[in-house]
Structure 1
Amino acid sequence: MTTVPDEGVTGTGSTAPRRPRARFTVVLGILWLVVPLVLFLLDRSVLLAGNPAQVIALAASGLIGVVLLVRDRSDDPRKAPVRPWLTVVGRVVAVLATVVVLGALIWLRPFGATPAAVSAMSGSADVRVTDAPAHIVIEPTSGTPTRGLVFQPGARVDPRAYVPMLSEVSRQGVIVFVVKPPFGIGFLAMTAPHAFIDRHPEVTSWTLAGHSLGGVVAATFAHDHPGLVRGLALWASYPVDSLADRGDLAVASVSGTRDGFTTPADIEASRPLLPGDTAYTPVEGAVHSYFGDYGEQPGDGTPTVSRPEAQRQIVAATVALLDTP
């Protein structure tokens, strides 16, 4: 009598359980591989132009996905089973890690600069723009500037979005450094001004500036380093530490009256934190996204003034601060 061997019988005569079609590690592996790949493809131009930390994080996450998939294929179904409670704990931890890490990578998607802002990276006859992995330099093509401005972008905003406006500032004889913070979060580049100040002894007067969260970072640096900088320009922002007693610091607060994030009420509430002679410039009808060229921002207010007119006033207020004796 001929017997048909069972599908689970191996060459040694032992019976192995059939591999499930949808294994837990396969699902995780696909998520860790596909999500970073999709994010990179969606924001490729912005990510490659920014701080390399985000691209490295996406690549590392994709590698984790590859490892999970390879590990699943190499699992021996005959190995001793793991205790059920350890399996449950391990899966819960893996799910939480997946949600936290991949969720953060999705949230960190940058607001890309407009085509016009990207074009401004080419510079002009009177302004030279140099792109580096961790910063952008904007400087006049003639003369040696003795005034410097270090600018911190808003959270998750493509640093190139500020090049058109800051090029106008640079035309007044100012060398400008736009920080490219890791993951677009200024708090991860708190000490960035040190590098520029140390490398440019020809600059005798330094001003810090920043948009939104970038302004908070700039103000914090000014607070922690009294005497190192002489000016602070807050674009739709305010400090978290008091600068009210800083007689050595010239401050300009530029804000939009229709801003949906840094509202007029926020600016008013922050007045006690700033010196009494702070120059306030409320730009009538301006919104949060007008402080850069990165399109509209979800949750922002509705503007009642044109972007070019609002930006003209923002630049003028910043230049006025730089010209303060």
Structure 2
Amino acid sequence: MGKAGDSGGTVSRGTPGPQEATGTEAGRPAWLTWSVRVVGAAGIGVVAWACLTAWGAVVHGHPLYAVLLGLTVLGSVLVLWRSLRPRPTRRGWRLAGDLALVVAGIVWAAAMAWLRPFTAVEPALDAMVSDDSVTVTESTTAVTLAPARGADGTAVFFRPGAKVEARAYAAVLRPVAEAGHTVVIPKQPLAVAFLAGGAFDAARERVPQADRWVVGGHSLGGVVASSDAAGAEASDMAPAVGLLLYASYPAEDLSGLTVAVESVSASQDGLATPAEIEASRAVLPADATFTVVEGAVHAFFGDYGPQPGDGTPTTTHDEARAEISSVSTQFVDSLAG
């Protein structure tokens, strides 16, 4: 006959204790299980938010962002499904691996949220419709505005600003096309100009009838366009003859550039400030022309709504757009052969 307490001791060794029953779930600590589930749900939530608030840019932008959103949904569903399956107890490096995956999931979801593009709004959407004066063509990698009655030999390649979809510049650049110049606006991967290094060469192949180009860009797009101009000013095939900057300036010294330069800026810009534009005179050719649109802000160079960090306008968007379009058209016209 066993001693008193033997039965209690046997039960204690054979039955899971309170800590195991309440402190873990399917072999994984409960807090980690719920962290995984929260991250999985957050991934799906970010995709839903991006699609609801920027559906036009997701559908009409470069396909890379849409692909990444799809992968985010698949990964989030897989994470949620695995969190419901029984798992062996995680210890040591396996537990550390799970923690690393949670952190990676948080970073990924945050990146997808940050990369949500600015969506084109009116009147840019109206400007995307072909008529008797301009033929608009949209592909997965570019928007092209071509004069309906035939273009001259001077074309424009214009890079959008960071996270801004290509269609947002249709209204401001359509008058350039109406004046007889083909305009190509690339759809950049993740709407970042640095990720579209070969876009200018692709545009020259797309418009073989153009024998000279004006390259330009807005904000970050202008930074990369400056490099495009420097690399193509002496090209034997359709060289760059002009650089058109919207609220932008080069990241390097281009004071020796031989192409014509037009810098258009905004007096109330909170991102490419008037002081920064003024300082850019030192890195641009001495004969560069500077035009300041009084009362305008950074976001007035396209049609995509307000932009965080921007200034407060003291003029209307329509008035600013009309001035920017006029300056741009006159600049390109002056370089037409």
TM-score by structure 1 length?
A: 0.88
Identify the residue that residue 206 of structure 1 maps to in structure 2: 213
Whether the 8 Å contact between 1:33 and 1:64 is mirrored in structure 2 is no
Structure 1 residues 28 and 300, CA, compared in 2 at 3 Å: closer, same or farther? closer
Whether the 8 Å contact between 1:207 and 1:230 is mirrored in structure 2 is yes
- Paired with 1:92 and 1:70, the residues of 2 have a C-alpha distance of 17
Structure 1 residues 194 and 87, CA, compared in 2 at 3 Å: closer, same or farther? same
Identify the residue that residue 255 of structure 1 maps to in structure 2: 265
Instruction: Report SS of the residue matched to 2:123.
Output: helix
| Higher fraction of helix | 2
Identity of aligned residues (%): 37
Identify the residue that residue 56 of structure 1 maps to in structure 2: 67
Identify the residue that residue 196 of structure 2 maps to in structure 1: 189
**Equivalent in 165, 172, 179 of residue 165 of structure 1:** 172
Whether the 8 Å contact between 2:176 and 2:332 is mirrored in structure 1 is no
Identify the residue that residue 331 of structure 2 maps to in structure 1: 321
Matches within 5 A, 1:1-325: 19=25, 23-24=33-34, 25-75=36-86, 77=87, 79=88, 81-83=89-91, 85-227=92-234, 228-247=239-258, 249-325=259-335
- Paired with 2:217 and 2:151, the residues of 1 have a C-alpha distance of 24
- Paired with 1:312 and 1:33, the residues of 2 have a C-alpha distance of 41
**Comparing 40-49 and 270-279, the one that deviates more:** 40-49
Number of paired residues? 308
Q: Deviations over 1:294-318 (max 9, x none)?
A: 2222221111222222222211221
Whether the 8 Å contact between 2:56 and 2:120 is mirrored in structure 1 is no
Give the deviation of 1:166 after TM superposition: 0.9
Instruction: Report SS of the residue matched to 1:174.
Output: coil
**Comparing 211-220 and 310-319, the one that deviates more:** 310-319
Give the deviation of 1:14 after TM superposition: 9.4
RMSD of aligned Cα (Å):
2.1
Structure 1 residues 309 and 34, CA, compared in 2 at 3 Å: closer, same or farther? closer
The amino acid that maps onto 2:321 is Q
Instruction: Report SS of the residue matched to 1:123.
Output: coil
Unaligned runs of 5+ in 1: 1-12
- Paired with 1:119 and 1:269, the residues of 2 have a C-alpha distance of 37
Unaligned runs of 5+ in 2: 1-13
Identify the residue that residue 10 of structure 1 maps to in structure 2: none
TM-score by structure 2 length?
A: 0.85
Q: Which has the larger radius of gyration?
A: 2
- Paired with 2:97 and 2:214, the residues of 1 have a C-alpha distance of 51
Identify the residue that residue 7 of structure 1 maps to in structure 2: none
- Paired with 1:41 and 1:260, the residues of 2 have a C-alpha distance of 28
